[in-house]
Amino acid sequence: MAIYAYIRVSTKEQNIDRQVIALEPFQIPHKNVFCDHQSGKDFDRPAYQKLLRKLKPGDLLIVKSIDRLGRNYNDILVQWQYITKEIHADIKVLDMELLDTRAKNGDLTGTLISDLVLQILAYVAQKEREFIRSRQAEGIAAAKAKGVHLGRKPKKRPEQFETVRLQWVEGQISAREAGRRLGISHSTFCRWSRDYSKNNKQKLDDKVDKKIQT
């Protein structure tokens, strides 16, 4: 049986000393310690993938805390099942005593309890994400109801927009040239032009309606 350790920090600037110190009592050979300086949003990490290729049945993988494996509990569940059920290796999380799949008293209690704890953590994490999204949606709806503008403030059209647009309509310049003269992208110019035509058509229709009514 070989013992391995996995260490992860999100950036190269972050310090790994706390995780290294926590692993010292296990006297893990340096070649068996794998470290990624990468976000935990997924498991596409070079050191982690190399570690998976090294693990064999009966081996033990140690991590300081569950969030060092990853940030998404549903993804952690998939990896946990792969390591323990497919590779048949064990996992021990130092910061959470219940997350230790090694057999206790000759039975599978460790694996059973660990699986249950992880599923509960995944459920709680999912509910927390849903709660946050719900609160965000409620906040946005409340802000809109109060007339609060959300997002970036719309860019103000330059004073020369109508002049440049007329030159474009008459075929004197291209949309890209129009955008360059106004200091905007040609796609922004085209959007402004569409909005301008739509708004002015509405104004014209309103004037016609008023004349008909009088």
Query: Where in the sequence numbering do the catalytic residues fall?
Result: 10
Tell me the sheet residues that pair with 3: 60
Contact by Cβ (8 Å): 121, 69: no
Give the separation between CA 55 and CA 49, rounded to whole angstroms: 10
Q: Look up residue 54 and give its amino acid.
A: K
- Greatest alpha-carbon pair distance for the chain in Å reads 95
Report the alpha-carbon distance of residue 87 to residue 106 in Å, rounded.
20
Q: Rounded distance, CA 36 to CA 48, Å?
A: 7
Nearest to 101 by CA among 93, 90, 88: 90
Neighbouring C-beta atoms of residue 195, cutoff 10 Å: 11
The dihedral built from the CA positions of residue 174, 180, 181 and 186, taken in this order, carries a sign that is positive
Residue with tokens 């497919």: 86
